[in-house]
Structure 1
Amino acid sequence: MIFTLYLKSCFFTFSVSVVLAIVPHPKNVRVTSVNMGAVLEWDISHQAPGNLTYTAEYSSDAAFEAVCQNQTEQRCDFTKVISPYGNYVFQVRAELQEESSQWVKTSEFIPDKDTLIGAPTVGLVSKNRNLEMDIREPVLRVSSLKGIYSRVSYNIKYWREGSEDQVTMLNDIQQTRKGLSQLEPWTRYCVQVQVFIKTFQKRGEFSEVTCETSTTDGRVEPWMIGVVLVVSFVAVSVVFPLLFLLTCYIYKGLKFLFPTAKLPEHFRQYLIEPSSHSYIFVAMQNIPQTDEQYHEVSVISEWMEGPLEEGGPLYSHSERLQGSEEEEAGKEMKK
């Protein structure tokens, strides 16, 4: 905004123009670049109005081209419009309606040189007393690591867990599969890896700490064989009896819940066909009962004095029965 002041003197009248900047410009303008990304970020003073908008531009030569316009966010992503091998300058300004602040430019930005390389991914496997590492390069936002840099290597540091002050370094390792040898058996080791770009002496971020326990080289110590045998004997002596008892209890329980005894066949038929049996039972109830014939029997003592006359009133029990039977047989014959 331009204000013009008119000043008068006795002989001359002249004007003075004063330019007043009422829109505060962005502060702390910076380029944040990780894995070949390019994001322009900035801050604003606390006294600035709350309805400011921003325009951000980039240039690889003399001309600037806008990427973010009239936005309220204090960042602009240029990743999709830059090349890994170009030289770029970014600028940004604040705007308030028809007014705007002065442009604030960054220093020259070279993506392949200035970008920060992220951490690789590390897999660790214990094998034959050695630890074998599988290193996977970080994923870039533009192209790939080996597609941009002609020579990629790794710096590796490892240590025994609990002894972080005794670190062993392996620098400029080009293999993505690397074994760590001469380790103590049955000891836990930890590893970290970073990318190293020798062309720019650029070191990336270290990976997360990965730990694994080393094993033996395949030779079995005699004392370990004894320990295994003792443990196996104790396990067999305890487990087998418990399994036998458990099997017995289970068998008894199943016998109780599901008995194997079966009903006789005629009972089953009776239960299956109750109507026919009930008919037979009713029929048997309706048959008239016949009169039963019987003879009076007298029991006397065998110790009686005097002879017993045949046919007399005093017969022995067996003789009277025999006589009755003979009499009945005679009557039948007469008929």
Structure 2
Amino acid sequence: MGNMTYSADYQRPGMDNWIKLPGCQYISSTKCSFSSPKLDIYEEIKLRLRAEQGNTSWSEVISFMPFEKAQIGPPDVHLEAEDKAIVVNISPPGTKDSIMWALAGPSFIYSIVIWKNSSSIEKMIETDYLRDKIDKLSPETTYCLKVKARLRTPRKVGIYSPVYCINTTAENKLPPPENLEVDVKNQNYVLKWNYAYANVTFQVQWLPKNPGKHSHNWKQILDCENVKTTQCVFAQNVLPEGVYYVRVQASDGNNTSLWSKEKKFNSDIQTVVPPPVINMKPISDSLRVYVGAPKEAGNKPVNQLYPLSYEIIFWKNASNAERKFLEKKTDFTVPNLEPLTVYCVKARAHLVDGKWNKSSVFSDTVCEKTKPGNTSKSWLIAGICTALFAVLVVIYAVKVLWKGINYVFFPSLKPSSSIDEYVSEQPLKNLLLSTSEEQTEKCFIIENVNTITPIEETNQIDEDHKKYSSQTSEDSGNYSNEDENSGSKTSEELLEQEMV
């Protein structure tokens, strides 16, 4: 509609108000480019647009996620020439005019395509370095290259940068060292490289950050100055944790080579877990196991960056049967072992920190003999108690058997409890007892039996019985003052009947 200007607003998730979209205010074109430090490429953004002429309404609201729509632009490239190499310095896309890809920057992979200017044969190199060296080139030769960035996950490919060309310099008298490799041995790093010339010395430098941005911060490794061999050994604690770079330079006194290609080095990946040191101490029927960290030359324990767990293998020296278990403690006891027996143990350490799973080699095997301890005493006491119990059982069995024999062959004349219940009078009990068991009898004297009538006699007998029943005789015989006549016999019979 002729001279028309447009303005756009945006809204982030969780916001109620609309914000003016930078770069898209009062523009006459029907397109605009925008970027904002407050935008997150992984957030869903809402947009609205309206024409500024007249009282126009806002357009329909649309939404999009910048990551899905935005194109990965070309990275910025800066080249440095050497005699047989080109150093490529890369700036991630989106960092020059905006911060669109600031969060994704560390995840970029760069594809470098290089060729001789006089040839169409291309060579592709992939790197995640922001500073990389392409070596083994020809001196005094023009090379051209282009670079593009891409993301691994999710996969997204950018566009190539413009073509950059540069001439390599004249050949240096001393070539730089090549093929740098880093190994770990005990508590030291071992840096190795290849070099064809003899009678030279080497120096090694390291850089804790991106050399492309901090090339002036290279530092000398103290134990790697004027090294006369193609390797350098230095302690792990010389370098900090994280990612850094190392490089090597050769010198023959008069001439100095260019620096080697930088070697990227990750201390987390290279960290080697040393084997633990095992000590054992017998305690009665148990073994106390002590797991310690190895010691340096100064007898100081080696510091561990992460907590460790220990895999313990334990076995009897005379047997191949092994027991395996994991321990987080460095001091523990293996109980219930056989006395006076040799046991052996070895262990290795495991490091699990969420990123790396590493294990040491097994420690030296340590063997120890258990003591007699409380177990032997316990067995002795248990044996004595068992023997005493057996003797008591035998004695009890003999006693029971003897009672049985006495009951069968020598029965007791004492009346049973049932008889004793119904025969309560002492004289009748005496009839059932043997002479040896007969008790002292009670007796009484009856006088003037003949002058009493039968009825009176009976009453008199009752009274006399009550009267004299308390008199006792210490003799076992029976006495009476009656004559040996017929009258007395009748009274004795009556007495006996009454008693019955």
TM-score by length of 2: 0.35
User: CA 1:158/1:78 → structure 2, altered by over 3 Å: closer, same or farther?
Assistant: closer
Structure 2 vs 1, CA of residues 4 and 189 (structure 1 numbering), >3 Å: closer, same or farther?
A: closer
- Is it true that 1:133 corresponds to 2:289 in the alignment? yes
Letter in 2 for 1:170: F
Cα pair distance change 1:43/1:212, threshold 3 Å: farther
Shift of 1:78: 6.3
Shift, 1:69, TM fit = 4.3
Please name the residue that 2:328 is paired with. Answer: 174
The reply to whether residue 58 of structure 1 matches residue 213 of structure 2 is no
Which residue number corresponds to residue 210 of structure 1? 366
2:269 paired with 1:123: no
The letter of the residue matching 1:208 is D
Alignment of 1:44-55 (within 5 A): 44=195, 48-55=196-203
Superposed, which structure 2 residues align to 1:1-335 within 5 Å?
A: 19-20=170-171, 23=174, 25-27=176-178, 29-33=180-184, 37-44=188-195, 48-61=196-209, 62=211, 63=215, 64-67=218-221, 68-73=224-229, 74-75=231-232, 77=234, 79=236, 81-83=238-240, 85-96=241-252, 97-100=254-257, 103-110=260-267, 112-139=268-295, 148-149=305-306, 151-164=307-320, 166-171=321-326, 173-199=327-353, 200-216=356-372, 217-220=374-377
Deviation at 1:135, TM superposition (A): 1.7
Shift of 1:156: 0.9
Q: Which residue number corresponds to residue 18 of structure 2?
A: none
Between the aligned residues of both structures, percent identity stands at 22
Per-residue CA distance 1:43-80 (angstroms, 9 max, x = gap): 44xxx332112121111112333334443243153646
Q: Is the 8 A contact 1:35 1:115 kept in 2?
A: no
Over residues 205-249 of structure 1, what are the superposed CA-to-partner deviations in whole Å (9 max), with x where a residue is unaligned?
Answer: 322110012234433456xx9xxxxxxxxxxxxxxxxxxxxxxxx
Structure 2 unaligned residues grouped into runs of 5+: 1-82, 85-138, 142-166, 384-500
Instruction: Report SS of the residue matched to 1:133.
Output: strand
CA distance in 1, matches of 2:181, 2:200: 19
Alpha-carbon shift at residue 103 of structure 1 (Å): 0.5
Supply the RMSD in Å over aligned alpha carbons.
3.7
C-alpha contact 2:313 2:345 (8 A) present in aligned 1: yes
What code does the residue aligned with 1:181 have? Answer: P
- Give, in whole Å, the separation in 2 of the partners of 1:17 and 1:207: 53
Structure 1 residues 153 and 140 mapped into 2: Cα distance closer, same or farther (>3 Å)?
Answer: farther
The one-letter code matched in structure 2 to 1:52 is V
Q: What count of residue pairs does the alignment treat as equivalent?
A: 205
Select the structure with the greater relative contact order (CA < 8 A; seq sep ≥ 6): 1
Deviations 1:241-293 (A, max 9, x none): xxxxxxxxxxxxxxxxxxxxxxxxxxxxxxxxxxxxxxxxxxxxxxxxxxxxx
Which structure has greater helix proportion?
1
Confirm or deny: 8 A CA contact 2:273 2:351 kept in the other structure: no
